Homo-oligomer: A and B are copies of this chain.
Amino acid sequence: MKPTVHDIARSAGVSLATVDRVLNGRPGVRRVTRQRVEGAIAELGYVRDVAAANLAKSRTYAFTFILPANDNSFMIGLGDEVRGAIARSSLERMAVRIVNVPPFDPAALVAALDTVVLERPAGVAFVAIDTPDVRAAVQRVAAAGIPIVTLVSDLPEAARDHYVGIDNIAAGRTAGSLMGRFLGGGDATVAVLSGSMLVRDHRERLEGFATVVREQFPGLAILPVLEGRDDPALAEALVMQVLEDNPQIAGIYSLGAGNRGLIQALRKVSMTRRAMVIAHELTAYTRAALADGTIDAVLNQDAGHEVRSAIRVLKAKADGLPVIAAQERIRIDIFLKDNLP
């Protein structure tokens, strides 16, 4: 049988109360006694029954998700997934809350993080913006002892506990490799549409893409990066313009979430030879475009998996349990029209 607190007490020759004091870090235990108890815990291989503990505490995990109020399908989908988790959350003793912030706005994110410190939830997940003040705010949240998970876009050197999202450099490399192979390896011109170079995920994708192109497909020329701020109208205008100015474009890599604008532009502009298009995030728009051949490949991160992973990780951190690294690795899905789910 699994050892319980009673077994620890008996084995260490102390009372239940003392075991409880040691287990929960309460004061009033001599150093030697504490060590005796800890020895018994280690010897018997005791692990706290988290379910029973939560029952006794009648604990509910309060988690806060800070999400940018972006008008793109991916962020909307991410919000939907969090709301889906909220619907299931009461079953798991969780109270998940969403806080919306303006997109690409470091000051607003900092304010939201500072509010979190006051509310002291059991954990926070947020889509990071990579600036020094955000980093400092994260440091304050961490100092308050609140577990932190970055979602979709990371903040590597900051005090976050875990990053839930894809390896964006690998994603960019994959896009570069597919682009090079699909284009057949000759000379060609490629355009890149990003959201903002302020967020790390977009920067990293570009970096991976450019690296592979440089190393493996030197015949490809990459045009200056377009920053569409993940805004449909702006992205459409930028793509229309670049296609007009560079009719020789053979490939487009859309590494942000401005796909609605991109697709509209592609459908408006008539090209002599259709460009090879690789985009990120499978949404209703990119799915349709993939199905009808406007887009050739979509790299995707599964928002549902990310949200569930973030919650699992936050819960584990709140309980002081280890996370299963392999389970929490978010994979890069590659969709062609032939493997659409």
Residues of A within 8 A of B (CB): 2, 47, 49-52, 54-55, 88, 90-91, 93, 167, 170-171, 173-174, 176-178, 181-182, 184, 208, 212, 296, 302, 304-305, 308, 324, 326-327, 329, 331-334, 336-341
Contacts and interface: CB of A to CB of B under 8 A. Distances in A.
Contact of A177 (B173, B177, B336): B336
B327 A332 contact: no
B338 A326 contact: no
Contact of A332 (B49, B170, B339): B339
Given A55-B51, A55-B52, A90-B2, A338 B304 contact: no
A329 B308 contact: no
A308 to B, nearest CB: 6
Contacts of A337: 177
Q: Is the interface of A mostly helix, strand, loop or mixed?
A: helix
A91 B316 CA distance: 13
Contact of A55 (B55, B90, B212, B329): B55
B174 A336 contact: yes
Contacts of A182: 181-182
Contact of A338 (B50, B54, B170): B170
A329 B339 CA distance: 13
- Per CB-CB distance, the 9 closest pairs between chain A and chain B, nearest first, are A173-B338, A51-B51, A334-B334, A174-B339, A177-B338, A170-B339, A177-B336, A304-B326, A174-B338
Contacts of A329: 341
A283 to B, nearest CB: 15
Contacts of A93: 51
Most chain B CB inside 10 Å of its own CB: which residue of A90, A93, A176, A326: A326
A181 B167 CA distance: 25
20 contacts: A50-B91, A51-B51, A51-B55, A55-B55, A88-B324, A167-B341, A170-B338, A170-B339, A170-B340, A171-B339, A173-B338, A173-B339, A176-B338, A177-B337, A177-B338, A181-B181, A181-B296, A184-B184, A305-B327, A333-B333
A208 B336 CA distance: 14
A338 B212 contact: yes
A216 B51 CA distance: 54
Contacts of A176: 338
Given A176-B338, A178-B336, A302-B331, 5 more contacts: A51-B51, A174-B339, A177-B338, A181-B181, A329-B341
Contacts of A296: 181
Contacts of A49: 55
Contacts of A184: 184
Contacts of A333: 331, 333
